[in-house]
Structure 1
Amino acid sequence: MSTTTGSDARPAAPHVADSHDAIRVYGARENNLKDVGIEIPKRRLTVFTGVSGSGKTSLVFATIAAESQRMINETYSAFVQGFMPTPARPEVDVLDGLTTVITVDQQRLGSDPRSTVGTVTDTNAMLRILFSRLGTPHIGPPGAYAFNVPSVRASGAITVERGAKTKAVKETYTRTGGMCAHCEGRGTIPDIDLGQLYDDSKSIAEGAFTIPGWKSDSFFTVRVYAESGFVDPDKPIRAFTEQEMRDFLYREPTKVKVEGVNLTYEGLIPKVQKSFLSKDRESMQPHIRAFVDRAATFATCPECGGTRLSEAARSSKIAGTSIADACAMQISDLAEWVRGRDEPSVAPLLAKLRHTLDSFVEIGLGYLSLDRPSGTLSGGEAQRVKMIRHLGSSLTDVTYVFDEPTIGLHPHDIQRMNDLLLRLRDKGNTVLVVEHKPEVIAIADHVVDLGPGAGTEGGTVVFEGTVEGLRAGGTITGRHFDDRAALKDTVRTPAGALEIRGAAAHNLRGVDVDIPLGVLCAVTGVAGSGKSSLVHGSIPAGEGVVAIDQSPIRGSRRSNPATYTGLLDPIRKAFAKANGVKPALFSANSEGACPSCNGAGVVYTDLGMMAGVASTCEECEGRRFQAAVLDHHLGGRDISEVLAMSVAEAADFFGAGEARTPAAHAVLGRLADVGLGYLTLGQPLTTLSGGERQRLKLATHMAAKGGVYVLDEPTAGLHLADVEQLLGLLDRLVDSGTSVIVVEHHQAVMAHADWIIDLGPGAGHEGGRVVFEGTPADLVAARSTLTGEHLAAYTGA
């Protein structure tokens, strides 16, 4: 492939005979892409590079992968398509040469309380079959070992043949499941603080309930209790009789009539458990999540000891090991246990189970256990778990798409990931990788660099060719490809310490360590060595500690940087004050919304099995506000024009003159500090890249008054050039008197730190110890740990 530069470098019209050799994209305009035209070689490893927000994800995921999935969906019948999501066709003129795309992204696995590493990889299913065949005592089919299957007693009719005649016979039978009845397969039981559910000094009629959304006129909640007849709605709850209190809190579901309508009355505690505590916490709205955190604490189930399984399931064993014991093992140990089983009757099952468990170890996840809740995995761990099912696949000529597969990996583990990517390619597949790490870019057969900048300044292909060509190409990626941060000549002196004593969370082995304050401290170690357990599990949260982890930003297409950061509040107030009207007028989600599109700016038309159509609202022309609202100005601009500004432009606008608004200017300054000066204020959060979302979160937390900042891999999703800017930001935070603790794998951050705490020496039960404490220079000089060896190689020391 020839090297091309700039947006004018579009490939020639496709030849049908060549479609077997390349994926061709013409006129791609998704998000910020500017009519991109590109040829991607098939059965090769192509890495897509560029600064955060340059358009990599828009090209690879939102265009190529999305169109492949849409076309596959179209092969199903109209009936089947009616049950499937209907993504719209990407904004692109031609996509030629597509194959089936398998996307392995960083979306976290669902955090349903019953979802574990074992269930999401089907490993639990294989273990259940194994125990149902070999476990003694034998307790039933695989479902008897499943914590998601309850035991039920039911009646039904069966048909019995008697000679030439048949007869229907009623029979009562029991289906045995492995679920612990006490915790319903969750492993924990909630302890509910009743004081967070109601004010017992009030009656129900006086509005005693303090549960979010439970209004006095709510037909299915408050009025059911008030008009059930089980309690006196006009009596303060604290004056209820013993029977009233029992009915109020614990009564089993009972049919009642409320104003002639049949409804179900249920005790408050089971009602709250079903309505709130059984839901995915991460999918809740912030105020609901805050309520749940206040109202309930979770303790290990005393009946099953947290295993989620019934006593019968726990009693059945193979060579003295129950299925609960197997799921609690570190996967590398479980792989050895399975290797020790030799039973010809289940040989194919054992072979498949061995392969799956070995894949965990091979991909660097051998330190996990199958009973680990899936919602606790980091984005990088979740992505690698998703890879498990593809490693042994016999499929070829498939396109695999990866989103920064090295996130969360120590430099020592990156080579292993590279080997896996190359193996997928060598089986005859096309591998597309969005990545910033030079170690991954270096193994590419083909590199596509997008830019030259981010947002509106990006969206073009600035380079396409070999790695050697990239180095000499003069793009931002090429210029920074061989950047190496140097070890500091002098380091800051600590101004105190956070003392951690006897830390034993997860795999930590009674760790005693002093984390220095007043400096930049990096906590390092291979994945699974205990870094997050030490930092997030042992540093006391509270006043003065601001923790910024990798949990995703949640927001709808109505959410944008202005709403997420709270920037819109001072802007609305400034507009209201300047025009003598209410602030709510300047909200597209409130009184100022265009009535035609309800403030969305677009009108959505549902076309059933086909993808819906979004068209710009004709009344507001996409501005989202009523025409009367746009007659109000501040500094010569209306609210829609302000939301169309970039962060940098808005900082100038609100920093001086008639529009001067110090509160807004402060937020904009923080956004600029984290490198988001190019974002527009009204850009939907759903269009931001992973790196942009993380920096947006960092900018928001910078407003908190914290003496200690705890950051979890802040370089995730950052381009090589952006890492330098991040280091400058961390320096400014420390120099302003803030202590910064960073869990990090990036060698540039390690080299720039004042102090390093290295955990290891390995992962899982081979880790959990502090193997080094000191300055980066001392770590490099000692070369006593894996981190020390890689940092020495990185710095050339």
Structure 2
Amino acid sequence: MPHVKPVLDDLVSRLRHLVDIGLGYLSLDRETRTLSGGESQRIKMVRHLSSSLTEMLYVFDEPSVGLHARDVHRLKELLLELRDKGNTVLVVEHDPDIVAIADHVVDMGPKAGTLGGEVVFEGSFTGLVEADTLTGRHLRHRLPVKAEPRRPTGALTVTDANSHNLSDVTVDFPTGVLTVVTGVAGSGKSSLVNDEFLSRHPDAIVIDQSSVTGSRRSNTATYTGLLDPIRKLFAKANRVSASLFSANSKGACPNCQGLGVLYTDLAFMETLKSVCEVCQGRRFSDDVLGYRLRGRSISDVLAMTAAEAADFFTEPKLRQILHALNEVGLDYVGLGQPLSTLSGGECQRLKLAADLHRVGSVYLMDEPTTGLHMSDTQRLLGIVERIVDQGNTVIVIEHNLDIVKSADWIIDLGPEGGSGGGRILFEGTPAELLKATGSHTAEFLRRDLSGV
């Protein structure tokens, strides 16, 4: 019927955009609450692509999160389509492929936290590649495929895996090496590792991007175990009870009960959060703030970044924890920073810091490069390599091609997402993957190495 055709064309267009942006594996009755952050963001993008509005400002925060290199290519086309409709598109992104299509680039730095906050470059992508900034230097460096992969010490086997779209998958995960599980979004990577492998090997250390558990009083110092020895140092130096130096105990500001902020319930409106007028956000009573450790109050110490605290403390136990925080790239995070303010990537690195020195363990990491700058990815690689060198097994679900190149062993799933995936396409070293056919990962790895 002619009057139905416009509606049908619009539906087909939206469905095609969902497929193009890498969400072809989603069923139409999938509940939105079950979608990941990246999937939700891409669905919003598809909705706006079908809008007739122009001269709009769109802001995307890392839209490439969770995307395979194949789908990043599709994402670029959709971003350009939004721009070409007469809109302004602002993207916060680390992926070089997305940055490369920008008409104008703003590079922030020079580093993170208190060492950042400055515009270090403005201009074209070509200019950024030549710039003497952290981003520019890493764009000029192309990581090669690992030349000499480690030899496995054994294998952990998963047999007859059928979770979600997996089709009777049987696969060996080699021990004593770095294994990277790859494949397009929805190909079955998480089902294989987080469901099937973990159910058979529940002792594995899982380091994902889920929020770090704790109350709104929890912070970096409490989670890592730094706070108790710090409280004891203050107590010993001032010959008082250690409980005074806990914002949850005797030393808390009486006005805000040690929160540093006050919450005002405004009924139907959003709760108002304001800094405590008595302690000015320092969380402790005036008496407690008068006690000093090497000239600093407990509030001063909790305001320190991990890097500053590493210079301040000489105690071996504290230095070991602080060294781990600095090593995973959290040197800019404050000791008293609430856990609720940390991003998914920061939560993941905080968990990694807490488990960094175990030996003989199996580590599972789910897209650890999410939210990381290229320089932080290189730092993460160094940490992962050291964990494996200590005698551990590391299994990483990842799309980042630098991580893929650095693997000792690769398990590639696909070929597509959803019902089109769930099969093992390839098992072997990165060098062997380059020769594989029928794999999107192999194709884009070859493109990356050739500079295409």
With structure 1 as the length reference, what TM-score do the two structures score?
A: 0.53
- Match among 445, 463, 481 for residue 139 of structure 2: 481
Decide which of 157, 162, 184 is 1:499's aligned counterpart: 157
Residue 90 of structure 2 corresponds to 432
2:123 corresponds, among 465, 472, 490, to 465
Q: Is it true that 1:411 corresponds to 2:69 in the alignment?
A: yes
Give the counterpart letter for 1:671 in structure 2: L
Q: Is the 8 A contact 2:189 2:413 kept in 1?
A: yes
Deviations 1:343-372 (A, max 9, x none): 778666545543443332122111111343
Largest Rg, 1 or 2: 1
Question: Which residue pairs with 2:109 in the alignment?
Answer: 451
Please give the alpha-carbon distance, in whole angstroms, between the structure 2 residues aligned to 1:349 and 1:790.
37
Alignment pair present for 1:389 and 2:47: yes
Instruction: Tell me the residue number matched to 1:644.
Output: 303
**TM superposition shift of 1:613:** 7.3
Whichever residue aligns with residue 49 of structure 2, its letter is L
Report the residue type matching 1:505 in the other structure. Answer: S
Q: Residue 150 of structure 2 aligns to a residue in which SS?
A: coil
**2:415–2:438 contact (8 Å) kept in structure 1:** no
Structure 1: distance between partners of 2:334 and 2:278: 23
The reply to whether residue 511 of structure 1 matches residue 169 of structure 2 is: yes
CA deviation profile, 1:15-68 (whole Å, cap 9, x unmatched): xxxxxxxxxxxxxxxxxxxxxxxxxxxxxxxxxxxxxxxxxxxxxxxxxxxxxx
Identity of aligned residues (%): 58
Q: Which residue identity does 2:286 align to in structure 1?
A: A
Q: CA deviation at 1:694?
A: 3.1
Task: Give the whole-Å Cα distance in 1 for the aligned partners of 2:52 and 2:91.
Answer: 21
CA shift digits 1:128-150 (9 cap, x unpaired): xxxxxxxxxxxxxxxxxxxxxxx
Q: Tell whether the 8 Å contact from 2:210 to 2:344 is kept in structure 1 after alignment.
A: no
Which of 395, 417, 430 is matched with 1:776 structurally?
430
1:682 equivalent in alignment to 2:336: yes
Provide the residue aligned with 2:246 in structure 1: 587
What is aligned with 2:418? 764
TM-aligned CA deviation for residue 790 of structure 1:
1.4
Match of 1:600 in 2: 259
Pairing partner for 2:326 from 667, 672, 692? 672
The answer (yes or no) to whether the contact 1:727–1:749 under 8 Å persists in 2 is yes
SS of the aligned residue for 1:499 comes to strand
Which residue of structure 2 aligns with residue 793 of structure 1?
447
- The alpha-carbon distance between structure 1 residues 413 and 543, as it changes in their structure 2 partners (threshold 3 A), is closer
Any idea what SS the aligned residue of 2:353 has? helix
The alpha-carbon deviation at position 412 of structure 1 amounts to 1.1
Q: Give per-residue Cα distances to partners, 1:732-754, cap 9 Å, x unaligned.
A: 10011110000111111111110
| Distance in 2, Cα, partners of 1:510 & 1:605 | 55
| Match in the other structure for 2:391 | 737
Displacement after TM superposition at 1:574 (Å): 3.5
Query: Quick one: structure 1 residues 458 and 609, their matched pair in 2 at CA, closer, same or farther if it must change by over 3 Å?
Result: farther
Task: Give per-residue Cα distances to partners, 1:207-261, cap 9 Å, x unaligned.
Answer: xxxxxxxxxxxxxxxxxxxxxxxxxxxxxxxxxxxxxxxxxxxxxxxxxxxxxxx
Secondary structure at the counterpart of residue 16 of structure 2: helix
State the distance in 1 between where 2:233 and 2:271 align: 38
CA contact (8 A) 1:546 1:704 kept: no
Tell me what 1:560 maps to: 219
Question: Does the C-alpha gap of structure 1 residues 355 and 706 become closer, same or farther in structure 2, counting only changes over 3 Å?
Answer: farther
**Cα displacement (A) at 1:624:** 1.5
Residue type of the alignment partner of 1:792: R
What is the root-mean-square deviation of aligned Cα atoms in Å? 2.7
Spell out the pairing of 1:25-424 with structure 2 (5 A cutoff): 350-424=8-82
Alpha-carbon distance between aligned partners in 2 of 1:580 and 1:690, rounded to the nearest angstrom: 40
1:622 alignment partner, SS class: coil
Could you tell me how far apart the structure 1 residues matched to 2:108 and 2:214 are?
27
Change (3 A) 1:455 1:790: same
Say if 1:544 and 1:705, in contact at 8 Å, map to a contact too. no
Equivalent position of 1:750 in the other structure: 404
Instruction: Name the counterpart of 1:621.
Output: 280
Length, aligned pairs only: 450
| Amino acid aligned to 1:409 | L
Of stretches 535-544 and 768-777 in structure 1, the one that deviates more from structure 2 is 535-544
Structure 2: distance between partners of 1:551 and 1:518: 26
Change (3 A) 1:788 1:670: same
- 1:554 deviates by 6.0
| Alignment check: 8 A CA contact 1:379 1:550 kept | no
1:544 aligns with 2:198: no
8 A Cα contact 2:264 2:271, kept in partner? yes
In structure 2, distance between residues paired with 1:681 and 1:739 = 30
SS in structure 2 of the partner of residue 532 of structure 1: helix
**Deviation digits for residues 653-678 of structure 1 (CA, Å, limit 9, x no counterpart):** 33x2xxx261x333222211101112
The match for 2:182 among 508, 517, 524 is: 524
Task: Check if 1:715 corresponds to 2:374.
Answer: no
1:574 is the counterpart of 2:228:
no
Q: Alpha-carbon deviation of 1:404?
A: 0.8
Gaps of 5+ in 1: 1-342
Report the 3-state secondary structure (helix = DSSP H, G, I; strand = E; otherwise coil) of the residue aligned with 2:198.
Answer: coil
Q: 1:771 to 1:593 in 2, by over 3 A?
A: same
Q: Determine the C-alpha separation between the residues in 2 that align with 1:679 and 1:384.
A: 30
Query: Would the aligned equivalents of 2:145 and 2:431 in 1 still touch at CA under 8 Å?
Result: yes
Distance 2:264 2:113 in 1: 28
